[in-house]
Every structure is written in structure tokens, then in C-alpha cells.
Amino acid sequence: MKYFKDDSFKCQCGCGFDVTNEVKELSDRLREVCGIPLIVNSGARCKAHNKAIGASDTSSHIDGLAVDFRCVDSHSRYIILSSAIKLGIQRIGLHKKFIHIDIARDRADEVVWFY
């Protein structure tokens, strides 16, 4: 990875669970297109950590297929969102503090949702 440390996407509980290489490569490409630093807010989550933080038990994070990037202002939100769409990312979640992208293939494509 060019823009992220190897452990950037691992589960925050310390278990070592990580996102797929495809998510890592897509994140690097997104960072390249954005031209601004991206900070991983949440990457892979083991089921225990996912439950502990109260996240959905169907989250793509537990399959290593999702990442949330910190985003706290409207300009960076626009840059990240427009760059994700340019890259063909078809599953995007918007929150006032982060942008979620995932590559789950067993779920609806061409969707943007709010938290």
C-alpha cells in the first residue's frame, strides 16, 4: 500500500482481523484520486468487536469488505464522495463524521445511505 500502514484496516480490538486486499487496493486508489489524506476510522471488525460497539450484525465490516474514512467537513466529504463515484464504488454510507465504502457483492449496488 502506498498511502496506508499495514495495520490501518485491522480490527480495533487487536485480534488481527483485516480487510481484504481488494479493499486495501481500492482505498489506495481512492486516496490517489482524492488528493487529500484519508484517515481510517474503522476497517475490519471481528464479530465480537462489532457487537461490542453496537454495530449491525449484517455489517460488511465483519466480512472484511468495508472501510470508514474520517470526514468532518463538507468540502472533504464532497471530494471523497465524488472520487468514490468516479472509481465506480457503488455502496456508500454517509455520516457527519465518516464516509463508509464497501464492496459486498451480495447486497444492492448503486446505493448511498445515511447513518
Taking a C-beta distance cutoff of 8 angstroms, is the pair 36, 30 a contact? no
The pTM of the full predicted model, rounded to 2 decimals, is 0.96
- The domain of 51 spans 21-114
Whether 7 is in a domain gets the answer no
CA distance 110 to 104: 12
**Strand bridging mode 98-102 / 111-114:** unpaired
Q: Is 72 within the bounds of a domain?
A: yes
- Give the largest Cα separation in the chain, rounded: 35
Q: Is residue 48 part of a domain?
A: yes
Q: Which residues contact 84 (CB under 8 A, 6 or more apart)?
A: 30, 92, 99, 101
Examine residue 16 and state whether it is found in any structural domain, yes or no: no
CATH number of the domain to which 93 belongs: 3.30.1380.10
80 pLDDT more than 90: yes
Q: Is residue 89 part of a domain?
A: yes
Task: Please give the tally of structural domains in the chain.
Answer: 1
Question: β-pairing, 91-94 with 111-114?
Answer: parallel
The pLDDT tens digits for 24-73 are: 999 999 999 999 999 999 999 999 999 999 999 999 999 999 999 999 99
**10 domain-assigned:** no
**In the block, which residue shows the cell 484520486?**
33
In a domain, 106, yes or no: yes
* 75 pLDDT above the threshold of 90: yes
Tell me the β-bridge partners of 42: 68
Residue 3 lies in a domain: no
